[in-house]
Structures are given as structure tokens and as C-alpha cells.
Amino acid sequence: MADTPVQSHHAGSRLRRGRRTAGRLLLGGFLVLAGVSHLSWNREAFYAQVPPWLPLDRDFVVVASGLVEIALGVGLLLLRRRRVALGWIVAAFFVAVFPGNISQFATGTNSFGLNSDLSRGIRLLFQPVLVLWALWSTGAWQAWRESRRTGK
């Protein structure tokens, strides 16, 4: 028996929500893992991403950003009601740490296996992907588009 258009729409909608949820959970897990690595096995490697012009202790920056990543990751994993706002916060975090990635490229600092300008440059291209992933997987982008459409 063929699905009606309404049934097909609901099934497609559930599939899209399921994909977004999986994306949000994957991003949350990634952030928790990255944050824990800031505090442990990759701590010194993250020093390469602290810009030399930043007037803060490198270790403080690495530890603080690791704690923020853990908190954001746990939020993505557990919070459902505030996921749209959290999506914007996670996206803003990815934008805020981007100068560190640019600094690693500009200073030619080797870390995380990024030992050439090409590899460090390619890594820069992934930061916008993370921003978009945060906005898509939390429904933040969709909520913004709907608010523009309805004027709310």
C-alpha cells in the first residue's frame, strides 16, 4: 500500500530530525572528547593554537577552552529544549577559536600532524564546516530561517 503525501511528508520530516539529532550527538561527543584531550594527552599540542599575541597564559587558555568544549559537548548531548540557542553558542565558540587556527598557520607551528602550510591551510577550511554543523544539527539555522519568513 502506497504512502499518502501526508504520510510521506511526516516520514521525511522524522528522517531529517533523526539525521539532525545524530549530527548533534556526534558533534557533542566530538566536543567532549576534544575538551578532555585539552586537559590530558593533547594538552601541549594545543599550545600551538594559542596565538602568541594573546595576553594570557597558554596553559590557562588550553585548559579553559577544554572546559568550555566539555560543557558545550555535554549540552549538545543532554539539552533538548535549549538546543537552538546552544547551536548559536557552539557556532560562536568555533568562530572565537578560529584565530588560534589562523595563528598556527601564520606561525608555521607544527602540531597534531599538521606539519606543512598545506595541511594547516586545509585545516582552516574545516572551521566553517564546524560552524555550519553546529547550526544545522541543533536546528538553529532552520529556526532563524523560519523566524525571517514569519517576521518573528
Band the pLDDT of 2: cuts 50, 70, 90.
low
The winner for highest mean pLDDT among 11-20, 78-87, 100-109, 127-136 is 127-136
Do the Cβ atoms of 24 and 76 come closer than 8 Å? yes
Q: What gap in Å lies between CA 114 and CA 40, rounded to an integer?
A: 20
Q: What gap in Å lies between CA 137 and CA 20, rounded to an integer?
A: 4
Q: What gap in Å lies between CA 37 and CA 99, rounded to an integer?
A: 20
Answer yes or no: is pLDDT of 4 > 70: no
The per-residue pLDDT of the chain, averaged, comes to 90
Q: What gap in Å lies between CA 39 and CA 106, rounded to an integer?
A: 25
Helix residue ranges, H only, the chain: 5-39, 43-46, 58-78, 83-107, 117-137, 140-150
pTM over 0.75: yes
**How many other C-beta atoms are found inside a 10 Å radius of the C-beta of residue 140?**
20
The x, y and z cell numbers of residue 118, run together, are: 598545506
Write out the DSSP string of 31-58: HHHHHHHHHTTTHHHHGGGS-TT--S-H
Give residue-wise pLDDT tens across range 51-104. 999 999 999 999 999 999 999 999 999 998 899 999 999 999 999 999 999 999
| Percent of the chain with pLDDT strictly greater than 90 | 76
